[in-house]
Amino acid sequence: MPQQPLIGLTTFLATAQWGEWDLPAAVLPAAYASCVHAAGGRAVLLPPDAPEAAADVVGRLDAIVLTGGEDVDPALYGAAPHPRTGPPVRERDAWEQAVLAAGLARDIPVLGVCRGMQLMNVHAGGTLIQHLPDRVGHHGHNPYRGHFCAHAVTTVAGTRIGALLPGTREVATHHHQAVDRLGAGLTVAARAADGTVEAIESTRHRFAVGVQWHPEMGVDMPLVQALVAAAAFSADTDEASAAGRKERTARSSPEGIFPTQVS
């Protein structure tokens, strides 16, 4: 039976309460892991770590989800902070940029969700709108604190996301920032009615997509299923390559087998 692909989910650090405890914790809404499980993958949590550890960690994964959360530090795209921009979380920014870079270098599937999509754009040299109501004149993308709202997005025909989610649909959203200048090697894959960029994808990688909305809330299982399917394909390809290397090595040894160790 094929092994289920390992999907790395980035987390953030926050003080949390459970039982009698009130301590710093690696936090992630359970919906992220639940949707990965439902799509046939195994979820692995990736709390912030030293950026130099990213290549080793990502080398053990079959796909990455850059999850939602705090605002990306404006210093990363050369901007001064807007009064409504949240305080920087530099440890998370540095870790997730390193995780993203390692994932793209391996060309394993990557899905950016909300903040994750914004980080993908910044990593590619793009910029962000720091407070979307200043640009669009309304609060429809984030009307209530602590609640997801629904609004329509229209995907772009000819893109990967357009093929998975054709036409116009309602999505779960909660964001006050958005993509401004698009990063290099990225293309717009969906927009809201007010023109806000709602999805992007890489033109240089096999599966590297970002959505401004929250598919983990159960509205877009085809997107998560496509990520897990692409991850399973990557895992199968890596396994076949490893088996081929082992067979070639065996054939090249003097006896056609790996030497037997004698103790």
CATH classification at residue 28: 3.40.50.880
Which pLDDT belongs to residue 2? Answer: 63
pLDDT at 145: 83
Cα gap 97→182, rounded to integer Å: 17
- Over its length of 263 residues, how does the chain's per-residue pLDDT go in tens digits? 468 999 999 999 999 999 999 999 999 999 999 999 999 999 999 999 999 999 999 999 999 999 999 999 999 999 999 999 999 999 999 999 999 999 999 999 999 999 999 999 999 999 999 999 999 999 999 888 888 999 999 999 999 999 999 999 999 999 999 999 999 999 999 999 999 999 999 999 999 999 999 999 976 799 999 999 999 987 766 654 444 444 443 444 444 333 333 33
What is the rounded distance in angstroms from the CA atom of residue 231 to the CA atom of residue 10? Answer: 16
Confidence (pLDDT) at 232: 95
Among residues 141, 175, 176, 214, the one annotated as catalytic is: 214
216 tagged catalytic = yes
Helix, strand, or coil (residue 79):
coil
Rounded distance, CA 26 to CA 11, Å? 6
Q: Is 114 in the active site?
A: yes
180 inside domain: yes
Q: Determine which one of 96, 198, 201, 216 is catalytic.
A: 216
175/249 Cα distance (integer angstroms): 52
- Tokens 């994932």 correspond to what residue? 103
CB neighbours of 147 closer than 8 A, spacing ≥ 6?
174
- Per-residue pLDDT tens digits for 41-75: 999 999 999 999 999 999 999 999 999 999 999 99
**pLDDT given for residue 237 in this prediction:** 64
Q: Are strands 42-46 and 149-155 parallel, antiparallel or unpaired?
A: unpaired
User: Which residue range(s) make up the domain with 231?
Assistant: 6-252
Domain assignment present for residue 260? The answer is no
What is the total count of domains within the chain?
1
Confirm whether 261 is domain-assigned.
no
Angle at 183 between CA 181 and CA 184, to 5 degrees: 135
Whether 239 maps to a domain, the answer reads: yes
Give the pLDDT score at 258. Answer: 31
- Catalytic one of 35, 96, 114, 141: 114
Q: Alpha carbon of 171 to those of 3, 98, 142, 165: distances in Å?
A: 31, 29, 12, 11
H helix or E strand, kind and range, residue 162: helix 160-164
- Within a domain: 226: yes
Residue 259 in any domain: the answer is: no
Q: Is 37 tagged catalytic?
A: no
Residue reference for tokens 């877009």: 220
CB 207 within 8 A of CB 110: yes
Q: Is residue 52 part of a domain?
A: yes
Is residue 1, in this structure, part of any structural domain at all?
Answer: no
Residue 256 confidence (pLDDT): 37
Query: pLDDT value at position 133?
Result: 95
